[in-house]
Amino acid sequence: MNTLIQPAPVAVRTEPRDSWASVFALARFESRRLLLSIPVLVAFAVHLAWIVWHTLDSYDGFPALQDADRDTQSPPMLVGLAVLLTVNLAVLRSRRRDTDRHFDVLVVTTWRRSAAHVLSVVPAALLTAVCVGVQFGWEALKPGAVGHGSPGELLVGPLTVLLFGTLGVLLARLLKSAFVGPLLVVFFLFFVVLGVAPGDTESGTRWLNPVVGESSSETLPSDLLGRPAAWHALYLLGLGLTAAVLAVLAGGGRRVRTLYAALGGAMALTLVGAIAQSGGEPASLTAAREKATVDPEQTCVQRGRSTYCAYPEWEPRVGTWAQVVDEVSDLAGGTAHGQRLLVRQRVEARYGLSGDGALQPSGTAHEVTVGTRWGGPRVPEFSSAVAAVLVAGNEQAGSELCDGRIVTVMWLALGWQDQPMDALRKVRLDDSVSGSAIVLQPTDPLSMSAAQTDVVRTLLTRPRGEATARVKEHWSELTAPGLTTARAAELLGVKGITEKDGCQE
Amino acid sequence: MTTPRRLSNVPELLLPLWRTLPWRALGAAAALGLLVAGASRLPAGFSPWLALNALRAAALAFALGLAFLLDDPARHTTATVPTPRPVRQALRLALVAPFAALWWTAAVLLVPAEVRPPVGAVTLEAATVCALALAGAAAAIRRTDEPEPGVGVGAGLLTVAVLAPLLWPDRWELFVTVGDPEWADAHERWGVVLTVALVGCAVWAREPVRRLRVRSPLT
Amino acid sequence: MTSTVSASGLSLHYGGTRALDDVSLRLTPGVTGLLGPNGAGKTTLLRVLATAVPAQRGRFTVLGHDPGSTRGRQEVRRRLGYLPQTPGFHPDFTAFEFVDYVAILKEINNRAARHREVRRVLDEVDLGDVRGKRVKKLSGGMRQRVALAAALVGDPGFMVLDEPTVGLDPEQRMRFRELIARAGEGRTVLLSTHQTEDVAMLCHRVLVMAGGRIHFDGTPAELTARAAGRVWSSAERAPDAKAGWRTGAGTFRNVGDPPPGAELLDPTLEDGYLLTLDGHGLAVTA
C-alpha cells in the first residue's frame, strides 16, 4: 500500500446547465456570507434587542396599531446601513483580492455575478421583514391593542434594507474603491438617519426620504392619518429595483436588452409612487378630519348605568373605560353614586399628524371626555376627569375647580387604584407626590395646591374603607362650592392643614 | 560598513512616502466631510444640534479616510528594513497632519458662526475619533499579516461610531449637545479617550522584539 | 567553515499548531536549501530568521548580532536581504523608484551612491531596460525580480529567499538560479523551495523540514544517498512501494523497500527527500 502518495478525491465535472441556477447558487453563497458578516450580525442583534426593549412597555400596553406600525421603520435603517457596507465590500472583494482576473473568464459572467450580489440582499430584507413582523405581531397580540396597521407602513423597513443593499452594489460597481462603502454610510447616517433632508417638513418632498416620521404623538383613527403609505412603499420598491437594475447594468450588463426594459419598468414604478405620495392631503380627508373632530360618527353602547360613545376602532376599549367609571362611582356618595354619565371619545384631528391639538372641556352635563390613548398615566387622568364631572356636574365646571373639592376629586380619582401613590405621581405633570402641581386630564388640566396634595396623600395612605366611609358620610359638604381645603381636611380627619382656600394660590 | 546615523534617511524618505499615502481615500473622506459641514449653509439652515452633529459626521468621515493611512501594499517586501516601523508610521502621520489641520479649519469655518459649536471641544472630539482610527489601523498592522487592513478598520470604526451613541452608558455621557450641563465633564471624558487612543497608537506601532511566551502545558 | 547564522531552540506556536518546534541550525556562506511539504514551517522559520516575527523561545545570531534586542535587530536588518513569499509593491512606482524606496528604507542616504547601487542591482536581475516602467505594467516574473532586486540592494551579508521561483517559467527559473548562485558567492543565502532541482543545482547544503522540525541537515549528495538501493523499476504497480508512478517509458518507478531481485535505479534528490519525509510518518498527497 502506498503511504506517501494518497489517492486524490474524484473531481466534480462542470456540466452545461441553467445559468440562472448558478446565479441563485452564487446569491445563496453571498447572502450567507452577508448575513454572517460582523456588521450585519451586530445590526440584527441591536435591532432585535431594541425590539424587545421597546415593545415590552410601549404604549403602556395599549397600542393603537396605526401608530405601532410606524415604530417598525427607523431601526431597520441601521440594518440597511450594515448591509450597504457589507455588500459593497463583498462586490469589491474580488477586485481587492485580485481575483477578477480569474473570475472574469468564468462561465458565470460579470453581470450575472452582479445580479447574484443584488439577490444576496433579499434574504437580509426578508429577515428584516421577520423582525418587523415579530415587533408588530407582538403589539397586535397585546390584549389592549386597537386599530389597524397598514401593510404599506410595515413594508418600509424591509424595503429600506433592500434599497440600501442595492445601492451598496450599485456604488461598488460605479466607484471601485473600498473606502467608498464606509464613507457612504456616514453620508446616509447624516443625511437620511438624522433626517437632514432638503426641503420643508410640511411639503410632499419629505416623502422622498425612505423613512418619514411625524412630529405629533397624537393617535388618530386610521382613516384620518393621511399618510400615503402604500404609494410610499411602491416608491421605495421602485427605487430599490431601479438601483438593482442599474447595478447589474453597471456591472457588465450593458449588452443585455431585457435589462433596459426592466430599468424602464422600475423607474416608472418609482415615478408613479413618488408622484402619488406627494399629492398632498385631499379635500375629502380635511373634511373627514373636521367631521371626526366636531361631529364624529360614533357608536354608543350602554355599560352599567353609563353610556359610552367611541370611534369604531376603539369599541373594544369601552370595557376598560367602564371599569374606571364604575370604580370612581362606587367611591362617590350622594346622588353622584348612581349618576348616569355619557363618556364620549374625542380627538382633535384637524391638524392631522403635523401638530398636537388640545381638546376643549365639554359644557354638557354629565359628559366626560376620553382620548384615543390609554394605559399608564392616561388611566388616572381619565379617572380624575370622571371624578371632576361627578363632583362639579360637567367638565367645564370641573376644570375650573380650585377649592377644597379638589381633595374630593383626587380621592375619587385615585382611591380605588391598586397603587394609588404611584397613580398620583403619574397623573401629576412633574411626577411629584408633594407640593403644588398640575394634574393632567383628557381636556384642560387641574391644579393641586401643596395643602391639597398633603390631604390627598394622607388619605391615600389610610385604609381604603375608613376613608371611603368618611367621604360618603360628608358627601354633600365635600362637594359644596366654596369648601375650603382646611375644612375638607377637617371633615376627612386630616390634621394640621391651615390653608383656607386653594383658589388663592 | 559604516553605521548610518539614526533617522538620517528621513529627508530622503519623505517624497516616496508621500507618494505611498492613500490620497484618494483621504481626498474622498475630506470631500464628504466638507459636504456634510457645508450642508449647514443650505437655505433651510441648521439648528445648533444639527451643526454639532454635522461636524461630528465630518470628523468621522475624515477618520474613515485615516483608517487607510497605514495601508502599505509593499508591507511584506519592506518588513525587515532597518528603518523602524514606528518611524515609518510617524512619518506618514506627519505628512498628513498639515492637510488634516487645513481641512478641519475649513470644515469648522463652513459652519455658520451663529450655530457653530465651541471649536475647542469639537476639535477634541474630532482628534479623538481620528486617533481611534489610527490606533485601530496600528493594531490591525501589529496583530495581523494583512498589508492593507484599512477596510476592516474603517468598518470597525463605523460600527463603533454607530453603536457608541446607542449603547454608551449614560453615567459616562460622551455625546452631549451644546448647552448640556454635562458638556465640560463630557469633554474631559473625550480627553481621556483621546489619551487612551494615543497610547494605543504608540504601543501598537512598536514591533515586538520578543513574543510573549505562551506557557506550554506540563508534560 | 565558520557559521554566519546560528540558531538554537527556536519555537513558535500559533494557537495549537507548532509552526516551529525547537529548531537549531547553523548556516555558512553559500546557498542553503530548505525543503519541506506545505505547512512544514519553512516560511515561519524564514520569517523568524529575517526578524519579521519574533520567536517565542530560543535565540539566534546573524553575522554576530543578536536580534533579541531592538538595537541588535536593527544591526541584523542592516545586513539582511529578504524576499517574502508574497512580495507586495506600490504599483504606481517604477521599478527604479521602488527599489530606490527600499534602498532609502535600508538607510543608504547618499543619493548618487544609492542610485548607482539601484541601477547595479536592477542590471543584476536583468531589469535594466525596464527600470522606468511602472511596477503594475510588469509581468509576474519581472515583479518577482524587482522584489529580488529590493532584497539585493545594499549588498546584504545574509539573504532569506522564500520560494523565489514559484510561478516562473523554465527560462525565468534558470535565470533566477543563476542570480541566486551569484548572490551566494561570499554571502549566506537561505532559500526555501518546493523544487528539488533548485536544491540539487544550487545548494551546498540542504535542510528538510516537516512538522516544525528539521529532519535532515547535510549535503544534497547525502540526501540523495538516503535513497540508494531503494528505487527500482517494475512493469506493474508495486503494491509495497512507498510511492510509485508510471514513467513516460511505460514502466513504474518505485520508491521504498524493493523486493528481492528488483531492477534498481539511480536515486535522485527527490527520492531521498520523499524517503526522509516517510521516515517520519509524513504523507504527501499526489
E strands in B14-65: none
Whether B29 sits inside 8 A of A183 (CB atoms) is yes
pLDDT digits (tens, 9 = 90+) for C89-143: 998 999 999 999 999 999 988 899 999 999 999 998 888 999 999 999 998 888 9
C97 touches chain B (CB under 8 A): yes
B80 touches chain C (CB under 8 A): yes
Q: List Cα–Cα distances, B153 to A459, B133, C109, in angstroms.
A: 63, 7, 34
CB contacts of C278 in chain A (<8 Å) are: 3-4
Best C75, C104, C163 member to test B by mutation, with max B CBs in 10 Å, is C104
pLDDT digits (tens, 9 = 90+) for A223-264: 888 889 999 999 999 999 999 999 999 988 888 888 999 999
Q: In the predicted model, is pLDDT for residue C27 greater than 70?
A: yes
Q: Look at residue C82 in the predicted model and tell me its pLDDT.
A: 94
Q: In the predicted model, is pLDDT for residue A7 greater than 90?
A: no
The residue type found at B58 is A
Inter-residue contact C84 to C44 (CB < 8 Å) = no
Q: What is the pTM of this model?
A: 0.82
For residues A130-158, give the mean pLDDT: 94
C-alpha grid cell for residue B24? 484618494
C-alpha grid cell for residue C2? 565558520
Of residues C64, C61, C72, C27, the one with CA closest to residue C192: C27
Q: Look at residue B217 in the predicted model and tell me its pLDDT.
A: 41
C-alpha grid cell for residue C104? 532609502
Inter-residue contact A423 to A460 (CB < 8 Å) = no
Of residues A252, A232, A101, A64, the one with CA closest to residue A169: A252
pLDDT digits (tens, 9 = 90+) for A174-231: 988 888 888 888 888 887 766 655 445 556 678 888 888 887 778 889 888 888 999 9
For residues A279-288, give the mean pLDDT: 87
Start-to-end Cα distance in chain A = 106
d(CA A137, CA A130): 10
Sequence-distant (6+) residues with CB within 8 A of B97 are: none
Q: Look at residue A97 in the predicted model and tell me its pLDDT.
A: 67
To the nearest 10 degrees (0 to 180), the angle between helices B119-143 and B85-110 is 150
CB contacts of A185 in chain B (<8 Å) are: 158, 162
The number of beta carbons lying within 10 Å of the beta carbon of residue A336 is 22
Q: In the predicted model, is pLDDT for residue C270 greater than 80?
A: yes
Lowest-pLDDT range, A104-113, B192-201, C156-165, C245-254?
A104-113
d(CA C231, CA C238): 11
Q: Look at residue A437 in the predicted model and tell me its pLDDT.
A: 87
Chain A residue nearest residue C273, CA to CA: A4
What ipTM was assigned to the predicted interfaces of this complex?
Answer: 0.86
Inter-residue contact A185 to A77 (CB < 8 Å) = no
Lowest-pLDDT range, A102-106, A180-184, B50-54?
A102-106
- Higher per-residue pLDDT: B5 or C128: C128
Lowest-pLDDT range, A419-423, B52-56, B179-183, C164-168?
C164-168
Best B162, B163, B166, B167 member to test A by mutation, with max A CBs in 10 Å, is B162
Across chain B, mean pLDDT equals 88
B77 touches chain C (CB under 8 A): yes
Inter-residue contact C161 to C192 (CB < 8 Å) = yes
d(CA C277, CA A72): 63
pLDDT digits (tens, 9 = 90+) for B16-29: 999 999 999 999 99
Q: How far is B22 from chain C (nearest CA, A)?
A: 11
Q: CB-side exposure of A378: number of CA atoms within 13 Å? A: 16
Q: Look at residue C254 in the predicted model and tell me its pLDDT.
A: 87
Q: How far is C14 from chain B (nearest CA, A)?
A: 10
To the nearest 10 degrees (0 to 180), the angle between helices A420-427 and A405-414 is 120
User: Cell 350602554 maps to which residue?
Assistant: A302
List beta partners, residue C57: C11
Of residues C88, C102, C75, the one with CA closest to residue B88: C102
CB contacts of B163 in chain A (<8 Å) are: 42, 46
3-state secondary structure chain C: CCCCEEEEEEEEEECCEEEEEEEEEEECCEEEEEECCCCCCHHHHHHHHCCCCCCCEEEEEECCECCCCHHHHHHHHHCEEEECCCCCCCCCCEHHHHHHHHHHHCCCCCHHHHHHHHHHHHHHCCCHHHCCCEHHHCCHHHHHHHHHHHHHCCCCCEEEEECCCCCCCHHHHHHHHHHHHHHCCCCEEEEECCCHHHHHHHCCEEEEEECCEEEEEECHHHHHHCCCCCEEEECCCCCCCCEEEECCCCCEEEECCCCCCCEECCCCHHHHHHHHHHCCCCCEEC
Q: Provide, rounded to the nearest whole percent, the portion of chain C with pLDDT above 70.
A: 97
Q: Look at residue B173 in the predicted model and tell me its pLDDT.
A: 86
DSSP conformation class of B41: G
pLDDT digits (tens, 9 = 90+) for B73-110: 999 999 899 998 999 999 999 999 999 999 999 999 99
Q: Look at residue A465 in the predicted model and tell me its pLDDT.
A: 86
d(CA B68, CA B12): 23
Q: In the predicted model, is pLDDT for residue A99 greater than 80?
A: no
Inter-residue contact A88 to B172 (CB < 8 Å) = no
Across chain A, mean pLDDT equals 86
Dihedral angle computed from the Cα positions of residues A8, A9, A10 and A15, in that order, rounded to the nearest 10 degrees: -110
Domain ranges of chain B: 10-205
- Higher per-residue pLDDT: B1 or C228: C228
CB contacts of C283 in chain A (<8 Å) are: 3-6
Q: Look at residue A4 in the predicted model and tell me its pLDDT.
A: 55
